[in-house]
């Protein structure tokens, strides 16, 4: 009987351990609910404490977009004169962080660019990004912070987004397979593609620094090739580079492009501003959407019934700036 009790207790203990592990694995982390970082290692524990040594490295400057949207992105710039072994990025009061080993993300001397790929499940109104660096001796810098607010934007069946890090007028363009081009002057396509976020129009600054094109439940995602371009319409008294990132998702997943990369990372110089319209911009990617039975049926319906723009949007002057 005594042996049976021991066996039962051992079995119960093992069950508790297994259930605890399963629960921990099922618990959403910041990479599920906030963002991911390409090439980074995710550590599912609390951020290490800053070193108290006077020799600890120092972050001289931390810069990034103070706005983000679900399914979008955010370029983060870190400047330091210290040697950097790792960069640590997490969220204040949240467990888990990303550890990055700097490589090609080092854009210029002593400056590092990190790109956050926002989850489509990103729903909180705001959060505080927490950043530190670790030097070759393992010393951890003091933490620096960026307070980031969420901008309401559509995700939908197809979502193409652009985020940039300076208060400039950057424009996102998407050319559909039927050659309709969605951009600031033609913000709704016949298929229902919608430029629902247009930022800093004509240098009337809102500092959102994001643009977003979405296809909602009632839109038709046409079969064929799509072209994504990004244009610096106007330089708004910014010196130096404007770093940007473009992402494209279909049914929630990043698309594998036929040309270019996804995500796409790039930058503009002030002299790249061109006040461009249709056909303007740098091509960053092409991708193809294949056909499905439901899409074909929707296309047939669209041939019979014209698309109805969302209420109040059909004649909306999206950009009120006299310069755009």
For residue 108, what pLDDT is reported?
A: 45
- 């592990």: which residue's tokens? 21
Q: What is the mean pLDDT of residues 72-81?
A: 96
Number of H helices, E strands in the chain: 3, 22
pTM: predicted TM-score of the whole model, two decimal places: 0.82
- The 8-class DSSP code of residue 140 comes to B
84-101 burial: b if 16+ Cβ within 10 Å, else e: bbbbbbbbeebebbbbbe
Of the ranges 53-67, 94-108, 163-177, which one carries the lowest mean pLDDT score? Answer: 94-108
Q: What is the pLDDT of residues 83-118, one digit of tens each?
A: 999 999 999 999 999 999 997 344 445 789 999 999
- List the domain boundaries for the chain: 32-150, 158-304
Residue 199's Cβ-count burial label (10 Å; 0-12, 13-18, 19+) is buried
Dihedral through CA 183, CA 185, CA 187, CA 190, nearest 10? -100
Closest of 154, 229, 163, 225 to residue 192, by C-alpha = 154
Q: Which phi and psi (to 5°) does residue 225 adopt?
A: -95, 135
8 Å CB contact between 183 and 173: yes
8 Å CB contact between 77 and 63: yes
> CATH says 32-150 is which class?
mainly beta
Residues 6+ apart with CB under 8 A from 54: none
Q: What is the mean pLDDT of residues 225-250?
A: 97
Reported confidence tier of residue 18, pLDDT bands at 50, 70, 90: very low
């Amino acid at each position: 009987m005594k042996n049976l009790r021991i066996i039962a207790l051992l079995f119960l203990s093992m069950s508790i351990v297994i259930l605890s592990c399963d629960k921990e694995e099922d618990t959403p982390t910041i990479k599920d609910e906030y963002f991911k970082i390409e090439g980074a290692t995710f550590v599912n524990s609390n951020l290490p404490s800053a070193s108290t040594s006077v020799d600890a490295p120092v972050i001289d400057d931390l810069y990034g977009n103070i706005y983000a949207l679900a399914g979008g992105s955010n370029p983060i710039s870190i400047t330091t004169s210290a040697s950097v072994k790792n960069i640590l990025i997490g969220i204040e009061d949240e467990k888990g962080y990303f550890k990055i080993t700097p490589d090609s993300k080092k854009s210029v001397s002593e400056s590092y660019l990190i790109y956050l790929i926002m989850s489509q499940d990103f729903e909180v109104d705001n959060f505080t990004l927490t950043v530190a660096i670790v030097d070759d001796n393992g010393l951890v810098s003091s933490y620096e912070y960026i307070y980031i607010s969420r901008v309401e934007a559509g995700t939908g069946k197809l979502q193409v987004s652009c985020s940039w890090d300076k208060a400039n007028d950057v424009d996102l363009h998407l050319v559909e397979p039927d050659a309709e081009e969605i951009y600031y002057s033609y913000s709704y396509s016949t298929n229902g593609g919608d430029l629902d976020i247009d930022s800093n129009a004509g240098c009337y600054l809102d500092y959102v620094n994001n643009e977003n094109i979405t296809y909602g439940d009632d839109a038709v995602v046409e079969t064929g090739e799509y072209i994504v371009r990004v244009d610096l319409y106007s330089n708004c008294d910014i010196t130096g580079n404007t770093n940007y990132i473009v992402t494209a998702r279909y049914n929630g997943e990043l698309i594998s492009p036929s040309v270019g990369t996804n995500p796409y990372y790039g930058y503009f110089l002030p002299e790249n501003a061109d006040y461009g319209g249709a056909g303007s911009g740098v091509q960053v990617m092409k991708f193809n959407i294949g056909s499905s039975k439901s899409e074909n049926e929707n296309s047939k319906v669209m041939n019979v019934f014209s698309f109805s723009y969302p209420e109040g949007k059909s004649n909306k002057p999206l950009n009120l700036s006299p310069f755009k």
